[in-house]
A = this chain, B = another copy of it.
């Protein structure tokens, strides 16, 4: 039976939906109870009770974590960390799609842009990548143009932090900038990447997200670039890594999918990574 309510008064379910809307739309943002008290014209005790039911629903259906912080600076926030089970079923679905032989491109690459640019996959992958770093929240998510941008944006969204995109080449178009040269691990050519000085503050903790990791030359270059900004790379996360070369130019990273090339029967070898 629906709750009885005076016309104009909100039902508990309606209040819960409005709270869920705000929490979901701004992951990691801390809402004080007062915000909801005002928005919903409800008593603090009511809001607090509503929130415990919201949290319960999120827990039960593994929709991420609704976290209550106590104290004067306290409140409630939403961490869109998917359960391992959901992450694995997402990655299995993507592996299935990546095994389509028409995806093979010259040079041993895979056509993947359509998947990482499909908003519902990009959202889920961004949350999965954020989930692998858990509570280790960065100040900034960094990527290198172009194909990693959708995933990096959705990872930034899951952490509610800005995305910063490093440009390839050395054109300066957005004010004073820093460029570094780096050796592309796969093609062994020297390339450069550029970032406006104002884009990353000294002391920032940055998380580097990209769509593809082969030898790790780009990630190595990002490390060097961040040293110039006096910023710290606290993590590297990629959608797909190649199994060869096994030895990467960087020490620590995580990936969602491993790509092992093509076997004798022309089958594309992809599987969930060892972090899942």
Contact = CB atoms under 8 A, between A and B. Distances in A.
Given A16-B16, A174-B105, A153 B117 contact: yes
The oligomer's copy count stands at 2
A181 B25 CA distance: 40
A124 to B, nearest CB: 9
A57 B146 contact: no
B13 A12 contact: yes
A20 interface: yes
Contact of A61 (B21, B122, B174): B21
Given A113-B174, A114-B162, A119 B156 contact: yes
A206 to B, nearest CB: 14
B153 A167 contact: no
A199 interface: yes
A14 B119 contact: no
A249 interface: no
Interface string A1-12: 111000000111
Interface stretch (A48-56, A87-95, A229-237, A239-247): A48-56
Contacts of A50: 13
Contacts of A163: 117-119, 150
Interface string A150-174: 1001101100111111010000011
A157 B120 CA distance: 7
Interface residue tally of chain A, by bracket?
Answer: 35 or more
A175 interface: yes
A59 B49 CA distance: 23
Contacts of A18: 57, 61, 63
A81 B223 CA distance: 41
Nearest to A114: B162
A179 interface: no
Contacts of A145: 145-146
B113 A165 contact: yes
Interface of A: 1-3, 10-18, 20-21, 24-26, 29, 39, 49-50, 53-54, 56-58, 60-61, 63, 105, 109, 111, 113-114, 117-120, 122-123, 145-146, 149-150, 153-154, 156-157, 160-165, 167, 173-175, 196, 198-199
8 nearest A-B pairs in the assembled complex, by CB-CB distance: A119-B157, A14-B57, A13-B13, A17-B57, A117-B163, A13-B16, A149-B149, A17-B20
23 contacts: A2-B12, A3-B3, A3-B12, A14-B56, A15-B57, A16-B17, A17-B54, A18-B63, A20-B21, A21-B24, A21-B63, A24-B24, A24-B25, A109-B173, A111-B196, A117-B153, A117-B156, A117-B164, A118-B163, A119-B153, A119-B156, A123-B157, A146-B149
